[in-house]
Homo-oligomer: A and B are copies of this chain.
């Protein structure tokens, strides 16, 4: 079995974290770098990441998350906040980044600009937000695998009050909304979930070859 598959078999959605174990700052940096390097449509990365360290704020987030203990017990809480709208300014700034990074003229990117104008910029704001949220889920998938590779536990979570999160994290005024969160740390010895057999669709039920 490849190491990558071993990593995936090792991981599970951690229900109870060891509240006394913290990620090293180096490990946290590596996980954030994995997020940073994640693929996104056109490379637009239409999201921001919020790492919540503040204990009082995490208590409030826990209240907004059906009191799930991971929010306060886990070493880290990583919030994926997607852009609620993709503006021409945002796209222009991205094109400038590309031009600078690759020593190109902006005119060299007219083809890409045209594609962005005829696709992402043409969507209505609601669809732009949904599209942006999906891109955040690619980064989430990558984070989960990166953490498993480092034998760091994670629990991706959707069970929270989005409006409350947006308010507590001041996301609305930044044109962001909470897409999904991941709690990250080390499993408690007492977490019984770690002993439960993984349930997955059989390849037969999941995969079709045409």
Task: Give the interface segment out of A16-24, A183-191, A202-210.
Answer: A202-210
Taken together as a complex, chains A and B put the C-alpha atoms of A173 and B27 apart, in Å, by: 46
Q: How far is the CB of A64 from chain B (nearest CB, A)?
A: 14
Taken together as a complex, chains A and B put the C-alpha atoms of A98 and B200 apart, in Å, by: 9
Interface size on A, residues (CB 8 A): 67
Contact B45 A201 (CB under 8 A): yes
Contact A208 B50 (CB under 8 A): yes
Copies of this chain in its oligomeric complex: 2
Contact B208 A51 (CB under 8 A): yes
Q: How far is the CB of A115 from chain B (nearest CB, A)?
A: 8
List A residues at the B interface (Cβ < 8 Å).
Answer: 2-5, 8-9, 11, 13, 30, 32-39, 41, 43, 45, 48-54, 57, 94, 97-98, 101-102, 119, 130, 133-135, 137-142, 144-146, 149-150, 156, 158-159, 169, 180, 196-201, 203, 205-210
Q: How far is the CB of A94 from chain B (nearest CB, A)?
A: 8
- A–B Cβ pairs within 8 angstroms, 6 of them: A4-B145, A33-B203, A36-B206, A51-B207, A53-B210, A119-B159
